[in-house]
Amino acid sequence: MLEELKQQVYEANMELPKRGLITYTWGNVSGIDRKTNYFVIKPSGVDYDKLRPEDMVVMDLNGNKIEGEYKPSSDTPTHLELYLRYPEIGGIVHTHSPEATAWAQAGRSIPLYGTTHADYFYGEIPCARSLTPEEIDEAYEANTGLVIIETFELAGLKPMYTPGILCKNHGPFTWGKDAAEAVHNAVVLEEVAKMATKTELINPKVQPAPDSIRDKHFFRKHGENAYYGQ
C-alpha cells in the first residue's frame, strides 16, 4: 500500500542525517496521500542505518495503524493534528537540529534579519508557548500539534508562508507541499537559526530587516507573481 509514498518518505528521512539535522534517531518525516487520507511516517526508534522503505508505517487520520511491522514515530499525533487542520500541508519534519533547538530552548522566535530568511519564511519564525503540566500529562504529542495550531491561529499566520515553528523547550517542526519540501525547509530553518545567532553576537542591537526586503524576497519566489527560477 502506498509504495511510492513510502519510498518518498524513506528518502526524505534519509536526508536528515545526510544534512546533519539529526543525531541517532532524533527526528522523523511523514508524508500524506490526500486521496486516501492515509499518511506514511518513520517507525519509532529504528536506527537510520537499518531503515528500509518497507519499514515505513501507514496511518489514518484517526490515529489507527493501517499497515506496518513497527510502531509509528512517537510524534505521530503531532503530525496528525497538523494534517487535520491544514489540508495544504503534504509533508512534515521534526528534528532536534542544534541551532534551531537552541532558539527553541531559549523560548525565542527567530527574527527576520535578512534575505535568506525572507526567501522561505514570511516574517519571524515563531516559538510556541510551553505546554502546561496538564497538556503534557494528558496527551503530550497531540497537544504539541494543537499548540502549534494555536500559535498560528492567534497570530493569523499562513502555514505555507511560515513553513515551520519552534516548540519551546523542545525543537523545530517544518512542513511543505510534500516530504521532500518539508526537509528542504528544515535545512533552511537550521541555517537561518545559525545566521541569526551569529548576527546577534556581532551586533546585539540589530533590528529586523525592513518589510520591503521581506516582501520582495518572499514574493519573488512565492505567489502569483513569483519570478525566481525557471
Question: Given this model, what pLDDT does residue 223 score?
Answer: 80
**Architecture of domain 3-219 in this structure:** 3-Layer(aba) Sandwich (3.40)
Written as nine digits, the cell of 187 is 535545512
Positive or negative torsion for Cα 20, 13, 217, 109:
negative
Catalytic residue positions, numbered: 119, 228
Q: Is the pLDDT of residue 88 over 90?
A: yes
For the entire predicted model, the pTM comes to 0.95
Tens-digit pLDDT profile for residues 49-73: 999 999 999 999 999 999 999 999 9
Share of residues in the chain with pLDDT > 90 (%):
95
